[in-house]
Amino acid sequence: MATMKTSAMDERLERLNAILKAIRRLGQLINRQKDSQKLLTQTTKLLIETRKYEVVWLALLEQKKVRQVFSASSGKDYSPFFETYLNHAPSHCAQEALQHESAICIPHQGS
């Protein structure tokens, strides 16, 4: 029982350290990179490296329409998804996000 608690605590500590590392590196990137396009591109890559996400993407909006997408992945090519996204109607989750003025969290629905 104590081993399970220690293991869970170790996992939580590892996750929190990874979050802090990502925040620290993002702060350094913001201070160093003045070009907004490069900043957003490098941000997606940094989050892949530090948080071990499969894919990270950021969208620039103009009048509630996606104008540009910045993305990085841990190996899989997601460019067909982003091309479809930019050239057609946004996905259900994107439509929901566009209805809000502030950031929201949309849980993964699974396929």
Residue keyed to tokens 């899989």: 76
pLDDT at 110 (0 to 100) = 53
pLDDT in tens, 50-107: 887 888 888 887 777 778 888 888 888 877 777 776 676 666 767 777 787 776 666 6
CB 71 within 8 A of CB 57: yes
Residue 62's φ and ψ, nearest 5 degrees, are -140, 120
Angle between helices 2-32 and 36-51 in degrees, nearest 10: 160
The pTM of the whole model exceeds 0.85 = no
| Dihedral sign (CA 48, 51, 56, 61) | negative
Q: Which residues contact 55 (CB under 8 A, 6 or more apart)?
A: 48, 71, 72, 73, 74, 76, 78
